[in-house]
Structure 1
Amino acid sequence: YIGLMLFAPQARGQGFGKALLALLEEEARARNTERLFVGVVQANVPARAFWLREGFMPMKTLGPVKVGAMTHLVDRMGKSLAR
């Protein structure tokens, strides 16, 4: 499960997320991991689009989940690492 992947606004859109995810996938495959999961706040449209582009598929909606003073719906997304 990928817990959290955040980049400063000025670092977004430069390929850092894609590069980091490629490294995570490589390491996960080396450890015989079959699938990766991530939780994405539904309201975070750019993040959801990133994970979809990278092959993650929505599995189920969790929530409402309270984070600090805010409440969110979170989409659990998964990606098979089978080649």
Structure 2
Amino acid sequence: MSRRAWRRFLRSPRAEVLVAETGGRLLGDLLLLCRVDSRKARIYSLVVAPVARGQGLGEALVVAAEQAALARGCQAVSLEVRADNLAARGLYEKHGYRPLKVLPGYYDDGADGLRLLKPLPA
């Protein structure tokens, strides 16, 4: 994502930027978008630094995003993930995200995507 896009999201009242860091070093981030006219939040981006993978940071960011979505009154969280990203799909499935739609050729390189959805508890 470009610096310009990040600046726009950081200023937006409809975006939540969650970070995982230690000692001032950024290890991961998650961008959650919440539209005004929707009760569904969207995980737009989740990134964990290669050196920090396998430590549960992605999982912690997803849980925090779900809590942020609930606090905003959302009833569900959706996201798109590469169909061939088995690690990410496993993380989301572990947390109750289920396939909603196949997105053929969704990514720039032609890879397929999946739209996942998780209803949140009332």
Is TM (by shorter chain) over 0.5?
yes
- Give, in whole Å, the separation in 2 of the partners of 1:65 and 1:30: 30
Find the counterpart in structure 2 of residue 44 from structure 1. 85
Q: Deviations over 1:36-81 (max 9, x none)?
A: 00101011111111110111001110121241xx111101000011
2:76 equivalent among 35, 42, 57: 35
Find the counterpart in structure 2 of residue 7 from structure 1. 48
- Give, in whole Å, the separation in 2 of the partners of 1:26 and 1:49: 20
TM-score of the aligned structures, taking structure 1 as reference length: 0.89
Structure 2, unmatched stretches of 5+, are 1-41
Is the alpha carbon distance of 1:75 and 1:66 closer, same or farther for their aligned partners in structure 2, counting shifts above 3 Å? closer
> Pairwise CA RMSD of aligned residues?
1.1
Partner amino acid for 1:38?
L
* CA contact 2:100–2:114 (8 Å) conserved in 1: yes
SS in 2 for 1:33: coil
Partner amino acid for 2:114?
D
1:32 Cα deviation from its structure 2 partner: 0.8
SS in 1 for 2:46: coil
The runs of 4+ residues in structure 1 deviating greater than 6 Å are: none
> Larger Rg: 1 or 2?
2
Identical residues among aligned pairs (%): 32
Structure 1, unmatched stretches of 5+, are none
SS in 1 for 2:111: strand
Find the counterpart in structure 2 of residue 65 from structure 1. 106
- Give, in whole Å, the separation in 1 of the partners of 2:76 and 2:44: 14
Structure showing greater relative contact order (alpha-carbon pairs closer than 8 Å, 6 or more residues apart)? 1
* CA contact 2:107–2:113 (8 Å) conserved in 1: no
